[in-house]
Amino acid sequence: MTTRFLKQYILPSDDHDFVGRIYELSIVGLYFDSYDELSKHDDCKYAHDVNHALSMLTKRVESLNMVGGMLWPSSMPDDFKQFPVSRYEWLTVCADVFLARYISLVDCAMILVSEVFECGLAYENCTAQNLKKKSVPPEILARLAAMIDDQGDLRRERNRRFHHGLERGFSSDDQVFRVASLFEHRFNGAVGPNGRPLPVERLFREGLVELQREFNTVMRKVVRQMNGLYDALHPEFNGRFSPKFRAGPFARRGAAL
């Protein structure tokens, strides 16, 4: 297995026209002292609710760059005895955060779809089945299904990891890596049968590079998926917002929204 670090892929999260459009409209919230007051105006409530769901999704996308920062650390300690966790545990934490946040993108996307189509679903009820019952168009549901399919083995690993307690292995010799990391972190290192120190650093780099490769591969998919979803939602949002706005208080005041 290779130990040469890869170049990190940085995810953009807010450079789509749809995102810019919603963020611009979010200014309506500044005109009201409470959500109850805002909710009296259909255009303002719609823009606010979509913005809230979209912001959750973009923040979740941005949080994957935090995962990238963990996988491409600017520096690692020379002495892991002073680090809060061992090398093996560090990779385990990275994998946990990566899987949890990556897989949850679809859940956040379903919430956004629900708000754009005004489904009236509680966040916890935003599932593909419930969106279908609310007559969300098949092409939108197909995009969400494709996102789930693209997550493939990682979605199944998330389920095994968090629901069944099964862990992934790291490096070409996971058992040696685990033992070597434990002894490096808590004791004074360990040696093999040949009397030489166990290759903890090489095995660590193997595991880290493998996570880097996986991260870069799926993050490129994420950008394509998000842009495709935003392309589909943008005209739907405009088609619903425009008549609400023309009948609302801001249009009567001549606001340029």
Q: Please enumerate in sequence order all residues whose Cβ is within 8 A of that of 238, keeping only pairs 6 or more positions apart, or say none.
A: 21
Give pLDDT, residue 251: 55
Domain membership flag for residue 153: yes
Closest CA to 10 of 235, 185, 222, 161: 222
Number of domains comprising the chain: 1
> CB atoms < 10 A from the CB of 155, how many?
17
User: What whole-number distance in Å separates Cα of residue 113 and Cα of residue 232?
Assistant: 10
Specify if 5 maps to a domain: no
Domain assignment present for 211: yes
Spatial distance between the Cα atoms of 117 and 105, rounded to a whole number of angstroms: 18
Alpha carbons 213 and 246: distance in angstroms, whole number = 49
Q: Where do runs of H (alpha helix) occur along 39-86?
A: 42-71
Residue 74 lies in a domain: no
Instruction: Report d(CA 256, CA 50) in Å as an integer.
Output: 19
Task: Specify if 219 maps to a domain.
Answer: yes
- C-alpha distances in Å from residue 68, one per residue of 45, 87, 100, 123, 167: 35, 17, 14, 28, 20
Residue 73 lies in a domain: no
Whole-angstrom distance, CA of residue 223 vs CA of residue 156: 21
10-residue mean pLDDT series, the chain (257 residues):
71 85 90 92 93 96 93 83 92 96 96 98 97 97 95 92 91 92 89 84 93 92 94 96 77 50
- Report how far apart, in Å, the C-alpha atoms of 234 and of each of 134, 190, 229 are: 19, 58, 9
pLDDT at residue 248, as a whole number: 64
Alpha carbon separation from 193 to 5, 133, 198, 201 (Å, rounded): 30, 63, 9, 18
Q: In this predicted structure, what is the pLDDT of residue 81? A: 87
Q: Which helix (H) or strand (E) holds 144?
A: helix 138-164
What does the alpha-carbon distance between residue 192 and residue 63 come to, in Å, rounded to a whole number?
Answer: 40
Domain assignment present for residue 157? The answer is yes
Q: Check residue 257 and give its pLDDT.
A: 47
Write down the pTM of the prediction: 0.88
Give the alpha-carbon dihedral of 27, 28, 32, 36, to 10 degrees: -120
Q: Is residue 3 part of a domain?
A: no
CB 191 within 8 A of CB 75: no
pLDDT of residue 256: 47
Tell me the residue range of the domain where 50 lies.
17-66+81-252
